[in-house]
């Protein structure tokens, strides 16, 4: 059914202009193993030519392949068409969706690829996935070089490389490779100069130095793998993390995000000026997670709060609590206004933000109009079985469905069933409904509105009637359970 939906992504207008793909190896069933055997490390994209997500990834994939030229150890990027010359191979690796990416060492598949989908992130992730998970540091030069750069660095300092703590640490580095840079040392000179023995230290990159937290954190736990893992994950982003398109999924609710011109490459001073002010307040609210994000990279998130354009350089603050309710700092950002905003959210007195069209003045049609502000009234509290269509005004499939949906409203006018439509581009979709494309339809029985079911049947008028007749809580007046019209009984003489 997903192929019939209008995907909620921007039109792929630029896909005809792709980078030169001569750096990406094209594989087939015949060449798959022989080609992989010639390369130490290979990232393979299993794709279908018609797949929109594959087309969107392809230019980034090609750029990543070019970025990885000359890497040591060498890393190759490859493709295989699952609908053509690579069918058997795709079946062998149980590929069921596109694109699927897997990492190979020679001909052996080592792991699924779960990293970024943009060129720099792909290249960085793959470099972290090859060679030892933790670099061994044996001299002062390698030690200083390792601690340089823009990434979080973690170093294990061990007197013996076979100690329980060292073994647990090296296990964790294999699990978290790609998240941070990892190294370890047993060199006595480095242990003495660093002032650390039999412990682990997390170092934050220099450009994030600030007066509100130390630029390094020393582990004080035991040799538990889970404790070491938690230590790294807890301290990785610090008090206020730098949230990007590549790592956004790592930031969890309750989350407070400040959006502004975050740019450490071109304007680190201004970026840290605002980050420091955010940190000054954030340290007083340990129950929340905090981040800064580029307003340009996350304009779509600002749009979700009705913000089409950020007028000045000051941060715009948006938040979600543990219940995923949305909140917006309406006043202009300052240390005081930010502090007050967090206190109000903390106390529960802050009104959640709800993106919604106005409630219709009249809603007497056979197809009811739901918006975010009246969803409870129109859907949840109507005491009727309800079919809801989540649509987009620009969606061609939605427009095609519209007259059929109106006819369905007429057919159900005298039934204990409500037919409802909801513009998902202009209103916040309730949390129970997972809308990935348009149109998406859900059936919400009157006695279990907290467990709606996605409708995945055909979209003809008779198909809808048959579905509703079968699933209605009480049998329809005009149709039997198979959706056949019930003939009225003739009056007896």
As a whole number of angstroms, the distance between CA 379 and CA 164 comes to 58
Q: 212 and 283: one domain?
A: no
15-41 average pLDDT score: 81
Q: 41 and 96: one domain?
A: yes
Across 87-91, 154-158, 247-251, 412-416, least confident range: 247-251
Beta-carbon contacts of 314 under 8 Å, excluding residues fewer than 6 positions away, are 260, 274, 332, 333
Among residues 379, 395, 405, 375, the alpha carbon closest in space to that of 437 is found at 395
Q: What pLDDT is stored for residue 312 in this prediction?
A: 80
Residue at 363 is within a domain:
no
11-29 average pLDDT score: 61
Residue at 353 is within a domain:
no
222-228 average pLDDT score: 95
434-442 average pLDDT score: 94
Residue at 12 is within a domain:
no
Question: Which helix or strand (DSSP H or E) is residue 34 part of?
Answer: helix 32-37
Q: What is the pLDDT of residues 37-50, one digit of tens each?
A: 999 999 999 999 99
With H, G, I as helix, E, B as strand and everything else as coil, classify residue 440: strand
Among residues 57, 16, 52, 47, the alpha carbon closest in space to that of 437 is found at 52
Which amino acids are annotated catalytic?
Answer: 51, 54, 395, 398
Beta-carbon contacts of 111 under 8 Å, excluding residues fewer than 6 positions away, are 102, 103, 129
Q: Which of 211, 236, 261 is the last residue of a domain?
A: 236
Residue at 387 is within a domain:
yes
Q: 173 and 203: one domain?
A: yes
Q: What pLDDT is stored for residue 149 in this prediction?
A: 84
Q: 249 and 218: one domain?
A: no
Q: Which position has the higher pLDDT, 22 or 483?
A: 483
Q: What pLDDT is stored for residue 9 in this prediction?
A: 36
As a whole number of angstroms, the distance between CA 100 and CA 78 comes to 12
- pTM here is 0.72
Q: What is the pLDDT of residues 114-166, one digit of tens each?
A: 888 889 889 988 988 888 899 999 999 999 999 998 899 999 999 998 999 99
In this predicted structure, the answer to whether residue 16 has a pLDDT above a threshold of 90 is no
In 11-150 the beta strands, taken as DSSP E runs, fall at: 24-27, 41-47, 76-81, 100-105, 108-112, 135-136
The CATH number given to whatever domain includes residue 220 is 3.40.30.10
Q: 273 and 220: one domain?
A: no
Maximum alpha-carbon separation in the chain: 111
For residue 367, the cross-strand partners are 419
Q: What pLDDT is stored for residue 288 in this prediction?
A: 97
CB atoms inside a 10 Å sphere around CB 51? 16
Percent of the chain at pLDDT > 90 equals 83
Q: What is the pLDDT of residues 230-245, one digit of tens each?
A: 999 999 999 999 999 8
Q: 211 and 250: one domain?
A: no
Q: What pLDDT is stored for residue 8 in this prediction?
A: 38
Q: What pLDDT is stored for residue 490 in this prediction?
A: 62
Q: 54 and 122: one domain?
A: yes
As a whole number of angstroms, the distance between CA 467 and CA 219 comes to 59
Query: 55 lies in which domain range?
Result: 25-129
In this predicted structure, the answer to whether residue 218 has a pLDDT above a threshold of 80 is yes
C-alpha distances out from residue 328 to 69, 95, 163, 186, 259, Å: 45, 42, 50, 50, 12
Residue at 14 is within a domain:
no
Among residues 354, 346, 476, the alpha carbon closest in space to that of 419 is found at 476
Q: Are strands 181-185 and 153-157 parallel, antiparallel or unpaired?
A: parallel
Q: 213 and 125: one domain?
A: no
Q: Which of 318, 347, 376 is the last residue of a domain?
A: 347
As a whole number of angstroms, the distance between CA 315 and CA 262 comes to 10
Q: 120 and 175: one domain?
A: no
175-197 average pLDDT score: 93
Q: 58 and 121: one domain?
A: yes
As a whole number of angstroms, the distance between CA 414 and CA 418 comes to 10
Q: 154 and 178: one domain?
A: yes
344-373 average pLDDT score: 95
CA dihedral 223, 227, 231, 233 (to 10 degrees): 130
C-alpha distances out from residue 170 to 125, 136, 180, 373, Å: 18, 11, 13, 52
Residue at 30 is within a domain:
yes
In this predicted structure, the answer to whether residue 207 has a pLDDT above a threshold of 90 is yes
Residue at 336 is within a domain:
yes
In this predicted structure, the answer to whether residue 15 has a pLDDT above a threshold of 60 is no
CA atoms within 13 A on the CB side of 181: 19
Bond into 439 cis (ω within 30):
yes
As a whole number of angstroms, the distance between CA 313 and CA 261 comes to 7
Q: 227 and 247: one domain?
A: no
Q: What pLDDT is stored for residue 136 in this prediction?
A: 95
168-192 average pLDDT score: 93
Which span out of 66-80, 301-315, 377-391 was modeled with the highest average pLDDT?
377-391
Q: What pLDDT is stored for residue 392 in this prediction?
A: 96
Among residues 301, 238, 249, 248, the alpha carbon closest in space to that of 272 is found at 238
Quote the DSSP letter at residue 75: -
Q: Which of 94, 112, 129 is the last residue of a domain?
A: 129
Residue at 5 is within a domain:
no
326-339 average pLDDT score: 96
Query: Based on the structure, what is the number of domains in the chain?
Result: 4
Beta-carbon contacts of 333 under 8 Å, excluding residues fewer than 6 positions away, are 258, 314, 315, 316, 317
pLDDT band at 10 (very low <50, low <70, confident <90, very high): very low
Q: What is the pLDDT of residues 269-326, one digit of tens each?
A: 999 999 999 999 999 999 999 999 999 999 999 998 989 888 788 999 999 999 889 9
In this predicted structure, the answer to whether residue 458 has a pLDDT above a threshold of 60 is yes
């Amino acid at each position: 059914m997903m192929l019939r939906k209008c995907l909620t992504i921007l039109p792929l207008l630029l896909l005809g202009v792709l980078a030169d793909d001569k750096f990406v190896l094209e594989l087939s069933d015949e060449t798959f193993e022989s080609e992989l055997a010639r390369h130490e490390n290979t990232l393979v994209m299993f794709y279908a030519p018609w797949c929109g997500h594959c087309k969107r990834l392809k230019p980034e994939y090609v750029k990543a392949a070019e970025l990885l030229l000359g890497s040591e150890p060498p890393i190759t990027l490859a493709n295989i068409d699952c609908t053509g010359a690579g069918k058997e191979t795709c079946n062998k690796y149980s590929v069921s969706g596109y694109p699927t990416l897997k990492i190979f060492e020679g001909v052996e598949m080592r792991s699924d690829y779960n990293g970024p989908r943009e060129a720099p992130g792909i290249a960085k992730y793959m470099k972290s996935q090859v060679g030892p998970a933790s670099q061994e540091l044996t001299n002062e030069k390698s030690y200083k070089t390792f601690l340089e750069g823009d990434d979080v660095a973690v170093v294990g300092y061990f007197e013996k490389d076979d100690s329980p703590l060292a073994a647990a640490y090296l296990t964790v580095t294999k699990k978290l490779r790609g998240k941070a840079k990892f190294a370890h040392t047993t060199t006595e000179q480095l242990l003495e100069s660093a002032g650390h023995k039999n412990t682990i230290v997390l170092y934050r990159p220099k450009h994030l130095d600030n007066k509100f937290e130390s630029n390094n954190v020393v582990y004080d736990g035991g040799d538990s793998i889970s404790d070491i893992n938690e230590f790294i994950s807890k301290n990785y982003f610090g008090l206020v993390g730098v949230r990007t398109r590549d790592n956004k999924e790592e930031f969890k609710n309750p989350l407070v995000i400040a959006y502004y011109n975050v740019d450490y490459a071109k304007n680190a001073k201004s970026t840290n000026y605002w980050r420091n002010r955010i940190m000054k307040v954030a340290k007083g609210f340990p129950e929340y997670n905090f981040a800064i994000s580029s307003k340009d990279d996350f304009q779509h998130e600002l749009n979700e709060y009705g913000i089409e354009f950020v007028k000045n350089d000051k941060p715009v603050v948006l938040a979600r609590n543990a219940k995923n309710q949305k909140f917006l700092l309406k006043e202009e950002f300052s240390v005081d206004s930010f502090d007050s905003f967090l206190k109000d959210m903390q106390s529960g007195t802050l009104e959640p933000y709800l993106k919604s069209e106005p409630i219709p003045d009249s809603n007497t049609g056979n197809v009811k109009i739901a918006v975010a502000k009246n969803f409870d009234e129109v859907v949840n509290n109507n005491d009727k079985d309800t079919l809801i269509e989540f649509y987009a005004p620009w969606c061609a499939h939605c427009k095609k469905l519209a007259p059929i949906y109106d006819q369905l409203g007429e057919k159900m006018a005298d039934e204990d069933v409500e037919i409802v439509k909801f513009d998902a581009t202009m209103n916040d979709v309730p949390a129970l409904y997972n809308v990935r494309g348009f149109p998406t339809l859900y059936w919400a029985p009157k006695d279990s509105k907290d467990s709606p079911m996605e409708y995945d049947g055909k979209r003809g008028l008779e198909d809808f009637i048959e579905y509703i007749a079968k699933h209605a809580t009480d049998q329809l007046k005009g149709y039997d359970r198979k959706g056949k019209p019930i003939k009225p009984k003739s009056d007896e003489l």
